[in-house]
Structure 1
Amino acid sequence: MTENQQSQESHVTQESGELTRRKIVVVGAGALAVAGLGGTAFAASAATEDGRATRSATSAQDDAEVCYRLTSETVEGPYYIDADKIRQDITEDREGIPLLLDLKVIDSETCKPIRNAAVDIWHCDAVGVYSGYEDMGNGGGGGGPAPTGAPPTDTPTDAPTGPPPGGGHQEPTDDTRYLRGTWRTDRNGHVAFRTVFPGWYRGRCVHIHVKVHVDGEWTDAGYEGGHACHTGQFFFDEESVLASAVVEPYASNAAERTTLTEDTIYDQSGTQGGLLKLRYGKRHIGKGVRGSLTVGVDPEATEDGQGAPPQPTTSASPSAS
Structure 2
Amino acid sequence: MGVRSLVSSLLLAGALVSAHPGHEEKVHAHAALPLERKSLDHCSKQFSEPEFVERTVEIHGREYARLRRSLGLDLDEEPKLRPRDYISVSKIDHKTSKAVTKGMDLSTLFSDSGACMLMPSVDQGPLYVQGEQVRKDITETEPGIKMTLAIQVVDYKTCKVVPNAYVDIWSSNSTGIYTGVQGYPGMGDPKDAGILKLTALRGVQPTDDHGVASFDGLLPGHYDGRATHIHAIVYLGATKQANNTITGGKAAHVGQLYFDQTLIAEIDKNTPYNKNKNKVTLNTNDFLFRQGANGDDPIVRYALVGKTLSEGVFAWIRFGVNTNSNQKVSPAAWMTSSGGVMNPNGPVAQLQRGGFGGGFGGFGRRWLGRGN
Spell out the pairing of 1:282-297 with structure 2 (5 A cutoff). Answer: 284-297=308-321
RMSD (Å), alpha carbons: 3.8
Question: Which whole-Å CA distance do the structure 2 matches of 1:270 and 1:100 have between them?
Answer: 27
The answer to whether the aligner puts 1:240 opposite 2:275 as a matched pair is no
* Shift, 1:286, TM fit: 1.0
Aligned length: 252
* Shift, 1:80, TM fit: 0.4
Relative distance call for 1:38 and 1:105 in structure 2 (3 A) is farther
* Shift, 1:283, TM fit: 7.1
TM-score by length of 1: 0.67
Partner of 1:104: 152
1:125 to 164, 173, 189: 173
Partner of 2:324: 300
Query: Does structure 2 retain, via aligned residues, the 8 Å contact 1:74–1:305?
Result: no
1:53 to 71, 81, 89: 81
Aligned-partner SS, 2:248: strand
Question: Which whole-Å CA distance do the structure 2 matches of 1:183 and 1:206 have between them?
Answer: 22
Deviations 1:154-187 (A, max 9, x none): xxxxxxx9xxxxxxxxx99521110000010001
Spell out the pairing of 1:144-293 with structure 2 (5 A cutoff). Answer: 173-221=195-243, 222-266=245-289, 267=291, 269=293, 272-280=296-304, 284-293=308-317
* Shift, 1:218, TM fit: 3.1
Relative distance call for 1:50 and 1:37 in structure 2 (3 A) is closer
Question: Which whole-Å CA distance do the structure 1 matches of 2:325 and 2:295 have between them?
Answer: 21
Letter in 1 for 2:239: E
Ranges in structure 1 where 5+ consecutive residues have no aligned partner: 1-9, 11-32, 142-160, 162-170, 309-315
* Shift, 1:44, TM fit: 11
Aligned-partner SS, 2:323: coil
2:142 to 91, 94, 116: 94
Question: Which whole-Å CA distance do the structure 1 matches of 2:137 and 2:246 have between them?
Answer: 18
Question: Which whole-Å CA distance do the structure 2 matches of 1:215 and 1:66 have between them?
Answer: 25
* Shift, 1:64, TM fit: 7.2
* Shift, 1:231, TM fit: 0.6
Question: Which whole-Å CA distance do the structure 2 matches of 1:39 and 1:172 have between them?
Answer: 35
Question: Which whole-Å CA distance do the structure 2 matches of 1:136 and 1:272 have between them?
Answer: 31
* Shift, 1:103, TM fit: 1.0
* Shift, 1:285, TM fit: 1.0
Relative distance call for 1:140 and 1:268 in structure 2 (3 A) is farther
Partner of 1:77: 125
* Shift, 1:42, TM fit: 6.8
Letter in 2 for 1:264: F
Relative distance call for 1:199 and 1:42 in structure 2 (3 A) is farther
Ranges in structure 2 where 5+ consecutive residues have no aligned partner: 1-51, 53-61, 84-90, 97-111, 331-346, 348-365
Query: Does structure 1 retain, via aligned residues, the 8 Å contact 2:253–2:327?
Result: yes
* Shift, 1:39, TM fit: 3.6
